[in-house]
Structure 1
Amino acid sequence: MSELSFRPATLADIPAMSAIRIAVQENRLSNPARITRQMYEDYLHRLGRGWVCESDGDVIAFSYAAAEDASIWALFTEPGREGLGAGKQLLRLAVGWLFGLGHARVLLGTGANTRADRFYAAQGWARGAMRPGSGEVDYSLSNPGPLRIAPLAPAEAGALLAASDAYMLSRYPAVGSHLESAAALGRPGVSLLGAWWDGQLVGCGAVKLVQPDDGGPAYGEIKRVFLFEAWRGRGISKALMQRLELLLQIQGVTLARLETGIHQPEALALYRGLGYQPRGPFGSYVADATGVFMEKCL
């Protein structure tokens, strides 16, 4: 038996993935044209991520994870290649990515009384109700880990924002004008996320959609990424940043910017590790001795 290899899907894999999707005998599309190339492209980057399994250089199976609703958008194996373990590993990759973003559970739907129906039940997924009139059944898998990231109401973020204010003002006495208030975090165009660890709110982060007055491209400004000290070093800030970036991508925004400072080495290391590059001041910011400005193309 040829060795299987797994990797992230690319645009070049779309023809092979589409051919597999059309060839399957169960969960067939009544209208294959309904799943367009643009949808494959969107779920590769803007709306999610994809993975493929190769054997002897040929793509034999693939999976897609949808970020916004934490679902499995696709998981298919080439007919005749079932039972090799490709589906199990591709499902693990998709689920692991979604859980890594802090989702509490992952969802999917599949045809009832099919091979896929039996497969998901065997993998420990919880079988739900039938979808009325569709012949499909819902499945869910709960995140066994401690981290959950979800929208946070500004009114519930008071302790975090106060601790963030104190932390920033202790390092940058003149930074107050750059700190978004709870009221500002509740305005249209701003998304605030909370991070819960074992049910306790331990961190937050926000992104503000900005349309420059000079007609330049829209961008998202990352704001208020903060964790209580006891929960630092667990990858929570990275997960928050990735979720904030995905919120922008889902809206079609391809540029993220942020302002930080020289007295935050951990934050600087995080942003550099995520691919942010130095740039000059933007928006209403002006250059100063402690400010650091960064951006990333998404």
Structure 2
Amino acid sequence: MTLAVGKVTKSGLVLLSDTRQYEPSADRSKRSVRSGTMKTTILWETIAVSFTGNVDVAQRDVAALQSNGENPGVFAVIEFFEQRSNQSRNDYLVAFAQPGKLYKIADGKAESMHTAWVGHIDGFERFQVGKPAFPDNPFWEMSMFGPDVPDSQQVSDRITRMSAVVEDPSVDSVGDFFTLVAAVDGKFRVCFQAGGYFDAEARLLDPLGRPLLSSTGENRAYRFFAWAPKDRSLAAAAFIFPDPQAAFVFTQRGGVGFADQTHAFYGLTTDELVEKIAETTGVVFETLEFWHLGTPRP
């Protein structure tokens, strides 16, 4: 079932969900990030939905809802997912940017909530704890997300909690990557994220080479980026590990539904990677990078 969480903030709404396809009977050693699914999609620019359960059922449900091409409105969407949830074991979070409403739909019943979750109880309990998966890590962690998501402090707290769940090896049902979808200026879009570890002796630089943190010495440890598509109507994500030059990309089939098409890319610099992803998937991603002092730039 994995985990999806949503929150209505003072000025917006966010959905976070992991990408792991969890099968309790599966051999963990044989699982792969390449078999995952991005479990939040944008139905129309003001409506987004997350699911937990069977991905094929979820794909059929959103395909049926979008078949006439028009947004049927809040009440019709809620009623639709109530019926579909009652017919299957899938649960849904349905979010409306205008107005800022969030509904949890499970067992055929919808409930309006300010904070909601669906998925595996172990994952949500770990989300509630919110502490780092590795509390003895000697490095500081820096994270960024955007663009200009309202109520950033509350959103940052959600990201920190979800990161802790995904990184915790004891939570087998939730993992791999997670995405952030937020209502920005009244419309949903996939957001970019960036993270890095550094110690007190490090200097962290922005893409223009300006210090974000100034100190002396260097002990570069880790960098990670989640890119978002330039086309804001798409639900797609690219998870980038720049130092080992590895990237894992999730895209939709024909630009609709949940992104369950996965691709892996290796040994490419940023510009090469953007071009190769576009050539392979048809999706152009916006890039985001930062560097530690002394890191060779492509």
Q: Which has the higher strand share?
A: 2
Normalization by structure 1: what TM-score?
Answer: 0.30
Normalization by structure 2: what TM-score?
Answer: 0.30
Higher relative contact order by CA 8 Å / sep ≥ 6: 1 or 2?
2
Q: Which has the higher helix share?
A: 1
Higher-Rg structure is: 1
